[in-house]
Amino acid sequence: MFKVASHFFPFLCCCLMAQFSPSFAKTVEYDLYVRNAPVNFTGVTRPAMTINGSIPGPVLYFTEGDTAVIRVHNLMDTETSFHWHGLLVPNDQDGVPYLTSAPVKPHTTHTYTFPIIQNGTYWYHSHSGLQEQSGLYGAFVVRKRPGDPARRTEDALPEYTLVLSDWTNENPQEVNRKLHTGSDWFSIRKGSVQSYWEALRAGYLGTKLTSEWKRMNAMDVSDVYYERFLLNGSPQASLPRLKGGDRLRLRIVNGASSTYFWLRYAGGKIRVVASDGKDVVPVDVDRMMIAVSETYDVVLTVPESGRAFEFQATAEDTSGSSSLWLGHGERQPLRPFPRLNYFKKMKQMNGMMTMGGNMKMMKMNSGSMRQMHHHGMSGGMPASHSGDMGMMDMKSGSSHGGGHGSMQEEGEETTLTYDMLKSPSRTNLPSGVPVKELHFMLTGNMNRYVWSMNGKTLSETDRIMIKEGQNVRIILTNNTMMRHPMHLHGHFFRLVNRHGDFSPLKFTADIQP
């Protein structure tokens, strides 16, 4: 069911360091060299920013209980910073310049030092300007301690870390400028223009007129045209040594600037075993969507020898994809996604909008959501970047799964929803303590590409005060036509779903229109 006002229950963690054996607790050090460098992903050399000479940067590996010492050497002429996305770190190590940390000035070295008090799949990225979009991001993997009673069969499997991203040859500043001027350039590049002529030719002229009458902008599923969608910095990768019967744990990070990805596997089911670094009770699905800044751990099985099976990440607007091939031999590709019918989607959205161009406050049954998914809507359009809420918290997911694919089953296919995620242990908040309830309306202006909460942009207000010891419940209403991935710094939150006491913990929640 589609809920426009989801309830969010933050999990304000009080994490204490466990008593680790000296043989397991160690200091792990990394040196990250940040520089301007040319790259060529499309046959055209373009300027970018690299970490240790590559995009993405190196995977940083730790074991729970380690102490991380990460030296960032800024070799550029501009300042930079690094945020450890999903990591519970001291506030002054969080890496948000001028808020929690000082920026790393040009041609200086800054050392981040913090204890590793959790395990799971996370990532790191610049929090300065649009540097992440220029290449400053990478995966951050924390393995469980040997002998940890929470270790499972999946923790002993061979693993491969997969960082998904998108790439445009345009300067990110120019992309940002075009978005703010309402340019149709990206729609032209993608072939998703919805002019009167296109509507007439497709038999949807009435739909187009109704849309204009309601003052709705042309529909799209992604606002930016990307030349490439990358998987560890390449459109294609392969693991040819895998053979029939082998199982592999994929640690998947969506480090894209604005792209949500559909994940599918030609070799059978995708077994989801962790979300945002936290274990979940394993669930088998045929496909799943990963929002910007989310992470998932999945297990794949190679069904037979002598063949290579495609694991594919397809952009939500189906404009491109990247693939990982498991096994060796004749390739078994997936059937491509059909091209989106934007006018059919526009007709559906007309019924969801008021005359002023706002979303109607309504509930949708599972049948209508399945229809939206079938036509490639999947809830709307992705935001251009993860909507960090600074030092506060939020939650998503109704008791019927308001998140990723709202379709649980269509024919023989099962699509992951937030409602399927179940923590293996209880996640209840402390009882008998004060509860502070906060309400936020996500609003925006598509023409000017300005986004706000309760009518205020980040430049107008950037702090929401809460007190230590409170339980905080945040109620978000997304009144935009875009989906927004909301991320919390410094804490996990409790995403309340049908599993009640066993609702999962996450650090990013995709909020649909």
Q: Please give the average per-residue pLDDT across 283-299, as a whole number.
A: 97
Q: Which residue has the higher pLDDT, 355 or 398?
A: 355
3-state SS assignment for residue 145: coil
Q: What percent of the chain has pLDDT over 90?
A: 57
Q: Which residue has the higher pLDDT, 336 or 266?
A: 266
Lowest mean pLDDT among 35-44, 62-71, 141-150, 181-190: 181-190
Q: Crossing angle for the helix pair 342-350 and 205-213, nearest 10 degrees? A: 50
CA–CA separation, 290 and 405 (whole Å): 10
Token duo for residue 150: 């929470």
CA-atom Rg of the chain in angstroms: 22
Q: How far is CA 335 from CA 264, 265, 309, in A?
A: 10, 10, 12
Q: What is the pLDDT of residue 477?
A: 85
> Secondary structure of the chain: what % helix, strand, coil (to 5)?
15, 40, 50
Spatial neighbors of 477 by CB under 8 A, at least 6 apart, are: 4, 5, 361, 439, 440, 441, 442
CB neighbour burial string for 51-68, b if at least 16 within 10 angstroms, e if fewer: beeebbbeebebbbbbeb
Spatial neighbors of 340 by CB under 8 A, at least 6 apart, are: 192, 221, 317, 318, 375, 376
Closest by CA position to 252, among listed 225, 228, 226, 270: 270
Domain ranges of the chain: 5-13+381-511, 27-144
What digits encode the pLDDT tens for the residues 491-504?
899 999 999 999 99
CA–CA separation, 127 and 80 (whole Å): 7
Closest by CA position to 16, among listed 121, 88, 113: 88
Phi-psi domain of 306 (left: phi exceeds 0; alpha: psi -120 through 50; beta: other): left
Q: What is the pLDDT of residue 76?
A: 98
Q: What is the pLDDT of residue 508?
A: 94
CA–CA separation, 435 and 441 (whole Å): 20
3-state SS assignment for residue 263: strand
Enter the pTM of the model: 0.82
What digits encode the pLDDT tens for the residues 18-72?
333 445 679 999 999 999 999 999 999 999 999 999 999 999 999 999 999 999 9
The answer to whether 96 touches 81, Cβ cutoff 8 Å, is yes
CA–CA separation, 323 and 229 (whole Å): 9
The answer to whether 451 touches 485, Cβ cutoff 8 Å, is no
The CA angle 483-484-488, to the nearest 5 degrees, is: 155
Residue 103 reports pLDDT greater than 60: yes
CA–CA separation, 261 and 263 (whole Å): 6
Q: Tell me, rounded to whole angstroms, the distance of Cα 86 from its chain centroid.
A: 12
CA–CA separation, 194 and 200 (whole Å): 10
What digits encode the pLDDT tens for the residues 333-344?
999 887 776 656
Pick the CATH number of 27-144 from 2.60.40.420, 3.30.70.1880, 3.90.1150.10, 3.40.50.880: 2.60.40.420
Phi-psi domain of 341 (left: phi exceeds 0; alpha: psi -120 through 50; beta: other): beta
Q: What is the pLDDT of residue 387?
A: 34
Q: Please give the average per-residue pLDDT across 197-205, as a whole number.
A: 66
